[in-house]
Structure formats: structure tokens, C-alpha cells
Amino acid sequence: MFHKEGHQIIFSALVMAIVLVLLGHFFVEIFWIQKTIQIGSIVSLILILQFFRNPKRISSINDEHVLSPVDGKVVVIEEVFEKEYFNEKRLQVSIFMSPVNVHVTRYPISGKVLYSEYHPGKYLVAWHPKASEENERTTVVLENEVYGKVLYRQIAGALAKRIVNYASVNEEVHQGNDAGFIKFGSRVDVFLPLDAKIKVSLNQKVKGGIDVLAD
């Protein structure tokens, strides 16, 4: 299954691959150039298909758990001052997504969307310390009665050129459901209450909608 954000790109890549394979077959006489064009076209199509894959996952719904919103590697676990929404100290867990990861964003908790804001910005590498505040990004705050408020932030990286965010203020959302997409490499920060019990460690690989970040 492929994410709807990739349907147009996948179709264009498929058409281009077919055209290049046929051109190479009928109009390029030098064997190694012909095969380079054909193999390169097919490899490019495969890379695009794997980037936009959207594996079906069944989340274990639990209002006491915060699930990872994305696939990737945990690169930050620290106490920080969150100044866009809370204006207070929070526990930050950051997950870096490489181009080979699934790039679907999923809601980390069920509840009501209190805040959803897009910010234009730079395209620093996703692991840069200032990426969370200076890069193109979206910030979403969710709340439920059990866990309280959780903020997650989609951050564009050096390769990411489009962030898709489906969260609308006052909407009721469900843990693990599709919340958006980030195209071509990025990171997601999650800001939790200070008393949250972190269930992941640095450099741990996590799966969106499956692995528990905190309870």
C-alpha cells in the first residue's frame, strides 16, 4: 500500500521509467549506455515506491501511552523549555527519519486537537540543534483526559521540501491514525509532561503507531 501523498509522484515516475526503458531499447545502440539508462530508471522507481510505502498497522489504543508518531531513530531525550505553546519545561523526545524510513506521521495519542500551526523556515539538516525552531515545521497539540496535553512537531530536513499536516483545531483524533506526511527526510519532536516515564532510549529504532515512547 502506498500513501496518497505519493500517488501523483509514483505515477509520474512510472511513466518516466517506461519511457526511458523504451528509448534505451529502441534508440541507444551502445549496450552499456542502454543498460545504464534502463537500470537507473528502474532503481529510481523502486526508491520512490519504497519511500511512499504506507504499511497498515493496528495500534494498541491506550490513553496512558504516548506512541511514536513516526518510524526512525531516537536522537534526543532531554528536558527543554518549550516556548511556542507551553512556555514551560517539557521532556523532548526527537526521532530522526532517514530517506529509507516510512514517512507517515501518526497521532501519538487520542484526543482533541487544541493547536495546529504551520511555520515556514529554513532547511537545516534535521539533526541540527536549531532545526526545531528555525526549519519549516508544523506544531500540533493534542489533549485527552488521562494523559493531558502532548505536542508533536514535524520538522523539514535538508531534503524535505513539503510537510503535510492533517490535524485541524477542535477535531477529535484517534491514536495511531494517519496525521500527515513529510517528504524526503526529516524529524519529529514530541514534548511530554515532566513526570512522563520515558520508555525508549537514545539510538533506539522505533515504529510509528506501534512503539510506546512514554507512559
Residues shown for the chain: 215
Q: What is d(CA 100, CA 53) in angstroms, rounded to the nearest whole number? A: 10
Q: What is the dihedral sign for C-alpha 176, 115, 153, 5?
A: positive
End-to-end Cα distance, the chain? 31
92, 93, 95, 96 alpha-carbon torsion, rounded to 10°? 50
Catalytic hit among 59, 168, 186, 201: 186
Evaluate whether 179 touches 27 at the Cβ level (below 8 Å): no
Phi-psi region of 142 (alpha: psi -120 to 50; beta: other; left: phi over 0): beta
186 in active site: yes
Q: What is d(CA 142, CA 3) in angstroms, rounded to the nearest whole number? A: 23
Evaluate whether 77 touches 91 at the Cβ level (below 8 Å): yes
Q: What is d(CA 6, CA 49) in angstroms, rounded to the nearest whole number? A: 8
Q: What is d(CA 82, CA 86) in angstroms, rounded to the nearest whole number? A: 6
Task: Tell me the catalytic residues.
Answer: 186
